[in-house]
Structure 1
Amino acid sequence: MRNQYDFSPLYRTAIGFDRLANFIEAASNQSAQTQNNGYPPYNIEAVDENNYRITLAVAGFAEDELSIVAQENALIVTGTKQKKNSQAKFLHQGIAERGFERKYQIADHVKVKAANLENGLLFIELEREIPEALKPKQIPINGKLNVESLEAKSA
């Protein structure tokens, strides 16, 4: 039996972070059924501070059988296997030829840059692009306010 946690104290003490608390709560309640029991296997790699790569093992899928959709703060990768009209009689069938849907929550300002299918691996490149208005700014401390220099910089 899974432990159930009460996240309501986060809602009472964190103003503006309710979305983060929702992510934590959703992750704790996530069932194995929604993730297709780990199929297909994947890696998430931090390439550098602002670039990431998701690698999914999608052996047997062609490009036209895969779909990647980025919407709001979600990335959805879907694989739909085409049905073959084969009369093959398998003695053992260990290769999974089933469809899948894999969902990833992505942070604000993270964009999908590219996707590449190579040797049965689907590579999805992501980049965090923080707008200038949200980047930290160094504020000089010089003892007195110089209004003229501030106006000149803003013009």
Structure 2
Amino acid sequence: MNTIDFSPLYRSSIGFDRLAAMLDSSLRADTSASGYPPYNIEVLDDERYSISLAVAGFSKQELDIRVENSVLSVAGKKADTGTDSRFLYQGIATRSFERRFNLADHVEVISAELNNGLLTIGLQRQLPEAMKPRSITIDEGASVLEHDKSGGQAA
């Protein structure tokens, strides 16, 4: 198995260690992992996303959605019905599952809806006010250095 050396990234960048760790863990992930349940990730606009999972046969009580440390986790555990059903063919999977999605910084889960066998999770990037672009007014008069030396007042 090939690995990627992220040490040049660590030497020349600050704060990207989470990204490198995420890339490294995704490259090490078991490639034989189940593709169940199938899902779509859709970009709705610059700030909104949607994840849809095909969870036919699961009720909302049998599904669990959690967010912890920027990881969205969706799990399904089929309740035991206690019936001894006899199928000629069973194509609808009812096995337990867990899907994990890494969320970028400031991406929040805003909704979840189960409709016609599709679980749709709404996500939105919500930048803090400090990170949003803002306009800076230009003052006339005293220089910035004079302003700082006199305790906030121009000399």
Tell me if TM exceeds 0.5: yes
Q: Give the superposition deviation at 1:14.
A: 1.6
8 Å Cα contact 2:56/2:92 also seen in 1:
no
Task: Indicate which of 107, 112, 131 corresponds to 1:110.
Answer: 107
Structure 2 alignment gaps of length 5 or more: none
Equivalent in the alignment of 1:81: 78
Residues in 2 aligned to 1:81 and 1:144: alpha-carbon distance in whole angstroms: 71
Equivalent in the alignment of 2:20: 21
Larger radius of gyration: 2
Partner of 2:9: helix, strand, or coil? helix
Q: Structure 1 residues 63-72 or 82-91, which shifts more?
A: 82-91
When the two structures are superposed, what TM-score results if normalisation uses the length of structure 2? Answer: 0.82
Q: Give the superposition deviation at 1:140.
A: 6.1
Amino acid paired to 1:111: E
Amino acid paired to 1:84: T
Partner of 1:22: helix, strand, or coil? helix
Residues in 2 aligned to 1:57 and 1:97: alpha-carbon distance in whole angstroms: 12
1:8 maps onto 2:7 in alignment: yes
1:50 maps onto 2:50 in alignment: no
Alignment deviations for residues 39-86 of structure 1 (CA, whole Å, 9 cap, x no partner) = 101111111111111100000000100011112211111101012222
What is the Cα-based RMSD across aligned positions, in Å? Answer: 2.3
Equivalenced residue count is 146
Residues in 2 aligned to 1:145 and 1:25: alpha-carbon distance in whole angstroms: 52
Q: Structure 1 residues 62-71 or 78-87, which shifts more?
A: 78-87
Higher helix share: 1
When the two structures are superposed, what TM-score results if normalisation uses the length of structure 1? Answer: 0.82
Residues in 2 aligned to 1:3 and 1:47: alpha-carbon distance in whole angstroms: 35
Partner of 1:9: helix, strand, or coil? helix
Structure 1 alignment gaps of length 5 or more: none
